[in-house]
Amino acid sequence: MKKFLLYVAIILLLTAGMAAAADQSLLEIGADYRFRYDILSGRVHDHMYINPQGNPAGSPAYAVWNNSLMLDRVGLNLKANATEDLAVKARLIMYKVYGHQSMQPVQFNYFADRTYGPFDGTIGHVPSDDMLKVDQVYATLSNIGSVPMWISIGRRPSTGGVPTNVRLNYEKQGVEGDIGLVTDYAFDGATAGYAPVITALPGSYAKISYGKGFDSGFTSSANTLKDTDFIGMNIVPYDTNNLSINLQAQKGFHFVDRPGDIAPVPNNSYHDEPYAWIQSIPPSENVGNIAWWGGLVMGKVSDLNLFLAVAQSKTYPTDGQVSGAGLLWDTFHPESKQSLVGSAIYLGVRYDIKSTGTKIGAEYNQGSQYWVGLVPAADDIWTSKLGTRGKVYEIYVIQDLNTEALMKNAKAFWRFGYQYYKFDYTGSNNWMGASVKISDLDVRNTVNVQRLEPVEYAKDLYLVFDVLF
């Protein structure tokens, strides 16, 4: 009984301390809740695959669908002003499928960013279970030497960047965020930035970043893998509510053949046992480097929001391979073992009707044959649309709840939308293996044997209810 009373007293004291801190703006607490309902349908093109006996076999085209995918997501946000000019931020997320404690219902063998399960860079951004996961936690030291400079270290806020926030109806992240077409991946790393006060260039800043994509562990004769590291630079010469210009470049070194975390994935014998599951194997080979560069212009004219983003990727493959596949090449397509440049474009518009709280938007993005997007944490169910080698069309309507907010920064809204993916090439959101035209696949062509199911088109009719408080 004494222990119980002691625990109660501790909880009460902590609660009182947190409330006092909050009153002094030293501790800020926020949260968000999301319900999502998706009606999914698509078609897999006929193709060749390797059967469980290791022999090529043909698979005719077939349709796939899920008419009642329901998801719950809860986020907890914390910010503490620990000392003068030092702040710590954290975000925890729980994201799950109704009726499941895994992502199996959305994890079939179609796209690499979903097939390999919730790995380090997508934890909390793809459905998994009902546990709160650390999405972000980092400390930022500002005003260094009384100069507008900052240093930040920890698990970075490198997801949900501009301009993807327009469709999600969220505020843009500011100096902490990235261009969503170039990066949508949860990194552990550090950033150093400088934000000079220039009258002609309001809101301008620049930063350099480092991220750890994979730690290879102890090096030995049995383990010669190298770490996967990233460096990047972000320059924003102009940033206001009505106009923002953003430039970003980054490079990843020593990519491994698959994500570094062991997670359940579909069995390669999916054609015979579509729901047989095994454990994935850890990375076994470094396959090369990838570089990205891109730019974004976004602005607002009266109640009309507009944006245009463009980006390119370039691969630098080595001889590293696993099961005959390397960085955008395989043994059936050795001619693609060279530096390949991919490109992507992303544009959108949203019109806000203030009198009713209604927002109507449309987006389009397209990726070329060799486009490699570092965007697996995106808010899409089939696969990250910004990593698509093909075209994606999306329309949506957002309706704010016109009710009085009882909490600071509280808001709630519905979002109803439709996505249509048209895949022109194989390998969307994947850097392993050669990318070929979907239309060139058939049940007899053994040159274009596929490791993942080649979806030719996919649709998603969705309804989202968001509450931020």
DSSP assignment string, 72-111: EEEEEEEEEEEETTEEEEEEEEEEEETT-SSSGGG-STT-
Rounded to two decimals, what is the model's pTM?
A: 0.90
Specify if 9 maps to a domain. no
Q: Pick from 153, 165, 144: which is nearest to 89 by CA? A: 153
Residue 8 is predicted with a pLDDT of: 44
Please say whether the beta carbons of 180 and 164 come within 8 A.
Answer: yes
Q: How crowded is residue 12: how many other Cβ atoms within 10 Å of its Cβ?
A: 10
Specify if 270 maps to a domain. yes
Residue 265 is predicted with a pLDDT of: 53
Q: Pick from 165, 61, 184: which is nearest to 121 by CA? A: 184
Please say whether the beta carbons of 124 and 90 come within 8 A.
Answer: no
CATH number at residue 106: 2.40.160.10
Q: Pick from 254, 260, 314, 258: which is nearest to 286 by CA? A: 254
Please say whether the beta carbons of 294 and 182 come within 8 A.
Answer: yes
Q: C-alpha distances in angstroms, 360 versus 181, 349, 350, 446?
A: 21, 8, 5, 46
Beta carbons within 8 Å of 464's beta carbon, 6+ residues apart = 34, 35, 36, 37, 414, 415, 416, 417
Residue 25 is predicted with a pLDDT of: 67
Residues spanned by the domain of 203: 26-468
Q: How many domains does the chain have?
A: 1
Specify if 11 maps to a domain. no
Question: What pairing do the DSSP bridges indicate for beta strands 62-83 and 86-97?
Answer: antiparallel
What does each of the 469 residues of the chain score in pLDDT, given as a tens digit?
A: 444 444 444 444 445 445 544 445 689 999 999 999 999 999 999 999 888 777 889 999 999 999 999 999 999 999 999 999 999 999 999 999 999 888 888 887 899 999 877 889 999 999 989 999 999 999 999 999 899 999 999 999 999 999 999 999 999 988 989 999 999 999 999 999 999 999 999 999 999 999 999 999 999 988 999 999 999 999 999 999 999 999 999 999 999 998 877 655 555 444 544 444 445 578 989 999 999 999 999 999 999 999 999 999 999 999 999 989 999 999 999 999 999 999 999 999 999 999 999 999 999 999 999 999 999 999 999 999 999 999 999 999 999 998 888 888 899 999 999 999 999 999 999 999 999 999 999 999 889 999 899 999 999 999 999 999 9
Specify if 431 maps to a domain. yes
Specify if 20 maps to a domain. no
Residue 328 is predicted with a pLDDT of: 98
Specify if 241 maps to a domain. yes
Specify if 10 maps to a domain. no
Specify if 258 maps to a domain. yes
Q: Pick from 458, 468, 469, 467: which is nearest to 38 by CA? A: 458
Beta bridge partners of 220: 223
**Which run of H or E residues covers position 16?**
helix 2-23
Gap between the Cα atoms of 265 and 107, Å rounded:
7
